[in-house]
Amino acid sequence: PASATRNRTSVSREWSSSPVRDHVRARLDWLGPLSQRQTALMAEDSVWVARLVAAARSGAQLDLAGEGSANPAEADEWDPGRTIPAAAVRAALLTKGLDPDPRGLRIRGANIIGSLDLEHATLPCTLTITYSRFNEPVLVEGLACRRLVLAGSHTPGLDLDGATITG
C-alpha cells in the first residue's frame, strides 16, 4: 500500500542522515574485520533500529501482524519479516536524541529474538509490546520508565526487581 511505501521512504531518509547509522558504522570500525554473516546481521539490526526509532518518533504502532495471526503461541508459523532482534529494540530505545512521541514505542505481533536487556536503563518513553513473543527473558531489573505494557505477549521470564514504572 501507499502508506507502507511512504513509511519505508521516511525510514530510508532518516537512516541516510541519522546518528543511528553513524553509531553502527563506529561499532563496525571498533569491532574490526567481520565475517559476511556478521556484517549481514548487523545491517539487518540497523534497519530494525531505524524502523523502531521512526515508530517511536511518530508514535505510530508498528503492527507486524497486520491481518495475520497475533497469537504468540503461533509465532513459529509467522513470516520471518516479523522477527525483530532484541538488541535493535534496546538500541532504538537508547538512541541519543530520540525525542519520542508521547505515545512512545508501540509494537504489535513481533517475534523478538534474543534477550531484551533493559536492566538499569532509563527509557525516554512508554514501551508497549503487545501480542508478541520473546524467545528469551525480558531483563528489566532496575528499569526506569513511564509505562511498560506487554499485554498478550509471551515471555519465558520477566524480572521487575527495582524497576520504577511511573505511569
The pLDDT of residue 36 is 57
Do strands 158-159 and 116-117 pair parallel, antiparallel, or not at all (unpaired)? unpaired
- In the predicted model, what is the mean pLDDT of the chain? 84
Span 96-112, pLDDT tens digits = 999 999 999 999 999 99
- Enter the pTM of the model: 0.76
- Under a CB-based contact definition with an 8 Å cutoff, are residues 42 and 82 in contact? no
| Angle in degrees, CA 106, 46, 70, rounded to 5 | 35
What the block records as the C-alpha cell of 3 is 502508506
The share of the chain scoring above pLDDT 90, in percent, equals 71
The pLDDT of residue 16 is 53
Span 29-65, pLDDT tens digits = 555 655 555 445 555 688 999 999 999 999 999 999 9
The pLDDT of residue 6 is 46
